[in-house]
Chain A
C-alpha cells in the first residue's frame, strides 16, 4: 500500500541524472519499468499497460527536460499527460435531446451500483430543474424495485414500475408513453445486473435499446474491478455501443486502474464518478485527478504549477542568497509562511504532496490555524528580536506570548522550529549552486 511508490522510485532512478538536459533511451528504460509496475499494481489491464509504456517511450526519448523540473518529474509529467489524454482531456457532459424526452439507460454487472447511481443521477438532473422519471427494470433481484422506489421517495422523483412479472421491454415501452403523457424531460432506466457472457440477458438489453433508442447508455463499472474490466467493457460496448461510463465506489482506496483500461479499449469517456453513499455523492469526472490517483503520486503536477506561479522568482533568489550566507531571520521565516499561504490552504498543499498521506500526518501539527498562530507570534516581536532571535529571553517570551494571544510554550515551539530549519539550511548551504537552483521550495 505504498501509494507514493512511483514518484519516490522515479526520484531514486533519476538521482544519478541530475543536471541532464535531455532524456536518453537508457534513462527511460528504467523509468518505464517502474511505471509499468505502478500501473499493474493499480490493476490497469496488462495489454493496456504494454501499449501505454510503448507510447511513453516514444514520447520521452530525446524530450527536453523543462527547466523547472527534475528528469524524474519530467517523465511523470509525460506519463500524466498521456494518461489524461487517454481518459479524455476535457470532462464530458451528459447529452440531452434538444426536444422531446431524453432517455438514459444504466447497464452493468451485478453489484456495480446501478440502482444507487440511478437515484444519484436522478437527483443531480432534478436539481438542474428537469422533471425526471425513474424506471424500474430490474425484475430479477429481490427488492430491487423497492430499492429504487425508496430512493425515489427520498429525492421526490417518480418511479415507474410494473412489478416483476412484466418483461423489461414492455416496462420501458409503457414508461416512455407515461413520460410523454405526463411531460417528463428525462427518463432514467435502471436495468438488472448481468454477466457480459449471459447471452440471453445481454439480448434483453439490446431489445430495450431498440425499443427506446436511448440518448445515453451508461455502463456502470466498479472502480475496484481487476484485469477483467477490459472484457466486460468490450462486451457491453460491442453489444450496445455505450455512450459513456460511470465509475462507482471511487471513495474506496482502490487506485482505480480499471478507469484507464476501460477508456482505452472502448474509447468512451467516463462521465461521472460515485464517491460516497449519500444521494449527492455523484461527481463529474476529472481525468487529471484520476491519472494521479492511478499513478499513486498525489497531485504533484498541480503542486509544481502552483508553486511556480506563486513564488516570486526574485524573492526566491534573494532567499537562496540568505540561506547560503546563513542570514536567514525570523522576518524571512514569516515571509515564507505568507508565500505558502498565498498558494492556498496549507492542508490542501499537503494533500498534493506525494507520500503525505493523511494518516502519517495525524501527529504533525501543520494546520492552517497553527500557521496563523506562528505569524501572530512573529508579529508580536520587535524588529530587533526578529533579526536576532538569540536575545529573546524569558521575559521577552512572556511579553510576546501575551501580545500574540498565545502561550509561552507556543513561542518556545516556534523558536525551536526556526532553529531547526536554520540548521537544515546550513546543510543545504554546503551544496553546489546548481543543486540549489532546483531547490527553490524549502518545504519540498
Chain B
C-alpha cells in the first residue's frame, strides 16, 4: 500500500506540469465562462492541442463533450469537468488487461534517442527485483558504443548479457540470445535494437527479420514487442507507433521522459487512435523510475 502511495505521489509529481497546463487551464476556462458556446469550445480546443493531443483526438473529445453537455443539459461547472475527465478515462482504459506470461522475450523498438537502452535497464531492474532471471541481448550493433552502453548497465545491475561487436548482424545476436535463454532457463530476455526512423524501409525490414527470429521460438517463449516513445515528441509519435506496428506487431508502449515535460497528453491520442495499450511510463532518471501504467491512476493524477 505504501508502495502504491509512493507511486501515486511520484506520478503526480511528474505530472504536475501536465496537470497545470491541462487540468488547471480547463478549471480556469470553466470558471470564467458561464455558457458552453463556440468560444468555450475553441478555448478548450486550444488547451487540448497545447497538451499534444493532436487535431484528430482533440476533435473527438470536443465533439463528445459538446454532445454530452447538450444531451444531459449540463450547466453545473463541476460537472462539465467531470464529463471531460470521463471521456479521457474511457479512451485510456483497456477492456482487457494484458497478463505477462513467463518465460518471455521482450523486443524493444523505437526511433533514435527515445531512451530504449535506459528503458531496458529499468525493465531489467524491475524484473530482477521481482525475482525473475533476466538476460539482455545487445541488439543495437549499429550505433557507436551502443553495445558498451548496455554492457555497462548489465554490469551495474549484475545481469547477464549476450553481445557481439559493432557491425554484427543484429538478428544473429538475438538468435544467440534466444538459445542462451533456453539453455539458462531465463524468465525474461530483453532485446535491445538500434534506433531507426520509421520511414526507413530497409531498417524496418531488418526489424521484421529480428521479429521472425523470435517468432520461430514461439513454442518456448511468449513474445512481447514494446515500442518506446518519447513523451516530448509531438503527434509524430502516432505515426511512429503506426509504422512500427506494421513491421512488428506491437503489444505495448513504453512512454519515456514524462518527467519535466508538460506533455503527458500524448498518451491520449496514442491510445485513442491506435488502440495499443501503454504498459510502462518513465517518470525520472533513477532506476526505479519506470512504472507500470495504470489508466485510472493516470487520469486521476491528470485532473
A residues at B contact (CB < 8 Å): 1, 37, 40-41, 43, 45-46, 109-113, 116, 119, 141-144, 146-151, 154, 195-198, 222, 224-229, 231-232, 249, 251-255, 257-258, 277
* Neighbouring A residues of B197 by C-beta, 8 Å: 249, 251-253
Is the CB–CB distance between B52 and A226 below 8 Å?
Answer: yes
B50 in the interface (beta carbon within 8 A)? yes
Is B148 within 8 A of A109, CB to CB?
no
Instruction: List 20 A-B pairs, Cβ < 8 Å.
Output: A43-B234, A43-B236, A46-B46, A109-B232, A111-B257, A112-B113, A142-B153, A144-B145, A147-B143, A147-B146, A149-B145, A222-B232, A222-B233, A226-B236, A227-B234, A228-B232, A252-B236, A253-B197, A253-B198, A255-B236
Shortest CB–CB separation between residue A310 and chain B, in angstroms? 32
Nearest CB of chain B from residue A174's CB, rounded to whole Å: 22
With the chains together, A148 CA to B149 CA distance in Å?
Answer: 12
Add 14 more A-B contacts to A43-B236, A253-B198 (CB < 8 A). Answer: A40-B49, A43-B235, A111-B115, A142-B156, A143-B146, A150-B145, A154-B144, A197-B260, A225-B232, A226-B52, A226-B237, A253-B236, A258-B234, A277-B142
- A343 CB to closest chain B CB (Å) equals 28
Q: How far is the CA of A258 from the CA of B52 in the complex (A)?
A: 12
**A113→B195 CA distance, assembly (Å):** 11
Of the stretches B66-74, B127-135, B207-215, B261-269, the one at the interface is B261-269
Tell whether, in the assembled complex, residue A113 and residue B262 are in contact, meaning their CB atoms are under 8 Å apart: no
- For the A-B complex, the count of residue pairs with Cβ-Cβ distances under 8 Å equals 130
CB distance from B235 to the nearest CB of A (A): 6
- Is B239 in contact with chain A by the CB < 8 A criterion? yes
Given contacts A147-B144, A196-B260, contact A249 B112 (CB under 8 A): yes
Q: Does B259 contact A (CB under 8 A)?
A: yes
| Residues B167-198 near A (CB distance < 8 A) | 197-198
User: Are B266 and A226 in touch, CB under 8 angstroms?
Assistant: yes
Measured between beta carbons, the chain B residues less than 8 angstroms from A229 are 232, 234
Chain A residues near B54 (CB, 8 Å)?
41
A224 contact set on B, CB distance < 8 A = 111, 230, 233-234, 236-237
B148 touches A143 (CB 8 A): yes
The answer to whether A228 and B230 touch across the interface, beta carbons within 8 angstroms, is: no
Interface flags, B86-97, vs A, CB<8A=1, else 0? 000000000000
Q: Tell me the complex Cα distance, A113–B115, Å.
A: 12
Given contact pairs A41-B54, A257-B234, A227 touches B111 in the complex (Cβ within 8 A): no
Shortest CB distance A355–B (Å): 18
Q: How far is the CA of A109 from the CA of B260 in the complex (A)?
A: 11
How far, in angstroms, from A142 to B51 measured CA to CA in the complex? Answer: 32
Q: In this complex, which of A45, A231, A257 has the most chain B Cβ atoms within 10 angstroms of its Cβ?
A: A231
Q: How far is the CB of A360 from chain B (nearest CB, A)?
A: 15
> Is B296 among interface residues, defined by CB-CB distance under 8 A?
no
Report the nearest A residue to B110, measured CB to CB. A111
| Distance to closest chain A CB from B47 (angstroms) | 9
For B260, give its contact among A112, A198, A222, A253 (CB under 8 Å): A198
Q: Does B114 contact A (CB under 8 A)?
A: yes
Are B114 and A111 touching (Cβ within 8 A)? yes
- Does B274 sit at the interface, judged by CB under 8 A? no
Contacts of B245 in A (CB 8 A): none
Chain B contacts for A149, CB-based, 8 A: 145
Residues on B with beta carbons closer than 8 Å to the beta carbon of A142:
148-149, 152-153, 156
Q: A222-B232, A226-B233 are in contact. Are A41 and B55 (CB under 8 A)?
A: yes
Contact, CB under 8 Å: B143 / A225: no
Residue ID in chain B nearest A149 by CB atoms:
B145
Q: How far is the CB of A212 from chain B (nearest CB, A)?
A: 25
Distance in angstroms between the alpha carbons of A379 and B262 in the assembled complex: 65
- Which of the listed residues B112, B151, B152 has the most CB atoms from chain A within 10 Å of its own CB? B112
A150-B146 Cα distance, complex, nearest whole Å: 11
Residue numbers in A under 8 Å from B233 (CB-CB): 222, 224-226
When A40-B49, A226-B233, A228-B262 are in contact, do A253 and B239 touch as well, CB less than 8 Å?
yes
C-alpha spacing A41/B237, complex, angstroms:
12
